[in-house]
Structure formats: C-alpha cells, structure tokens
Amino acid sequence: MTDNIKLIGKDGLRLDGRKADELRPIKIQAGVLDNADGSAYLEWGNNKVLVAVYGPREAQPKYLQNPAKAIVQVTYNMAAFSSDERVRPGPNRRATEISKITAEALENVILTNQFPRASIDVYIEVIEADAGTRCAGLTAASVAVADAGIPMMNMVSSCAAGKIDGQIVLDLGKKEDNFGQADLPIGLVARTGEIVLLQMDGHLTQDEFKTALKMAMEACKHIHGLQQEALRSRYAVNFADMDDGEAEQ
Ligand code: ADP
C-alpha cells in the first residue's frame, strides 16, 4: 500500500464516482450449479465469484475425520484468467490464507456438531478479480452453504473498509487497494453482531479503525439483506414451478 496517486477528487468522489460510504453494485444468485449440493454466483463491482458446496459427506482422507463434528474445508482459487496481471495457476500462500480464514469464519455459523466425521467442502472460484475477493468469496460461500441446506445459525456477510488519501472509505477497488493506506476486511454475523473475520493491511489510528469497522459493519448488514433475497428468489422460483406442475396434472 503506497499513497502516490490521487484517489479522491476535489468533488469528494472516488475514481469510480463513488461516495466514501458507497458499495460497488452487488448481485447474488443462489443455486446456479446442478452438480453441487449448494451453489452461488456473485458479482461485486468487477469481481465475479462462483461457489460450489458439497456435503456434509464422509471426510476423506479418513485421518481428517473429527469424531465430534464436521470439518469445513475451503478451497479459494483465482482463475488464471481472472486478472489482467498474470495469475500463477495453482495454490499459493495467499490462496491458502484466504481458504483458511474463510473456513474459520464459516465454522462459527455451521452446526458442525450435527455431522461427526463429515466434511463440508466449499470451492470458491474467482473468475474475475478486482479487489475484495475474500469478502466476495465469503459472502457467496454463505449463500451456497445455505443453498445446500446445511444447518447454520446465520449467514456470514463480508465487506471491507479502508483508508485512501487520508479518508476512511467503504469497499476499496483495485487502485484504492494498491495505492491506499489501509484495508480492513471483516466478516459479520449480521443478526448477532458477532465478527468472525477481521484482517488489516496498512495503518489506522484507533479512531480511524473504529470508524472503518462501523462502516464495514453497516455495509455487512445491507449485504445480509442481499444474501437473504438471493435465497428467497431461488426458492420462490422453485415453489412457483411446483405450483405450475401441480396445476397441469
Ligand atoms: P482481496 O481480493 O481479498 O482484496 P488482496 O488484497 O490480496 O485480496 O488482493 C487485492 C487484489 O489484487 C485482488 O482482488 C486481485 O485483483 C489482485 N491480486 C491479488 N493476487 C493476485 C495475483 N496473484 N495475481 C494477479 N492479481 C492479484
């Protein structure tokens, strides 16, 4: 993170025309893959993320099994074509880190103790990346887990706030992420206010941290509404199909 280019104009707007507390547009669709137990597709600004969930199914290899609860295994992957920079295919330290923190966030809400020895496998494929993919991945993964019918207390909603040109802003874009001063991605259980993911890159004062955290939490509550809406429309469509079928008989 460096601060050598101007990211906020004289009009107070950011490079893409957003206000400080404005999210990029977000679209979420649940149940997009037939072969997965649950799935979701999410567009968040220029980010495009596809998530497939399998399970609960017997954990393999067997030594991974926990006799008391299911394990949650997340594989985050950036497609080789997801960025204009070259993305080296295959696992790397960053992907391993994002997979781990996403699994830990989801373990907080999934009722894993109902499925001893099982595994819940979550595959996050980033098709296009434009900063904020861990938040996009976790948000979509929560919808896909719910779509799989896996019992969970609540969904996790995720969003980042950060600092650019000395100002706290919501949901950093790629240039803001590259040339800003701080990035604070969080995962929130909107209904309880519990934070299940918090990372920070860069520097913030205590007051700035509080402001950024509050901004990201507010945004997570809004995103939670979009996640619920995605599930509602998926199942509303299915119910409508069933009604049609029954009507025809
Ligand atoms: P996040 O995507 O959660 O913001 P980072 O802060 O690590 O995670 O990355 C910011 C952005 O930088 C990514 O969204 C992506 O656009 C780009 N990026 C990260 N890693 C790579 C990579 N290996 N190759 C190309 N672009 C990358």
Read off the pLDDT band of 249 (50, 70, 90): very low
Contact 207, 221 (CB under 8 A): no
Domain ranges of the chain: 26-237
Residue range 183-242, pLDDT digits in tens: 999 999 999 999 999 999 999 999 999 999 999 999 999 999 999 999 999 998 555 565
What interhelical angle do 133-147 and 206-248 show, nearest 10? 30
Contact 204, 193 (CB under 8 A): no
Residue 132 has pLDDT above 60, yes or no: yes
Pocket residues for ligand 1 (CB within 6 Å)? 83, 85, 87, 94, 129-134, 174, 177
Which atom belonging to ligand 1 lies closest to the Cα atom of 183? 6
Q: What's the CA-to-centroid distance between 127 and ligand 1, angstroms?
A: 12
Q: What's the CA-to-centroid distance between 141 and ligand 1, angstroms?
A: 18
Contact 180, 1 (CB under 8 A): yes
What is the pTM (predicted TM-score) of this model? 0.94
For domain 26-237, which CATH number applies: 3.30.230.70, 3.40.1280.10, 3.30.70.2740, 3.40.50.150?
3.30.230.70
Protein residue with least CA distance to atom 7, ligand 1: 94
Protein residue with least CA distance to atom 24, ligand 1: 87
Residue range 41-79, pLDDT digits in tens: 999 999 999 999 999 999 999 999 999 999 999 999 999
Residue 86 has pLDDT above 90, yes or no: no
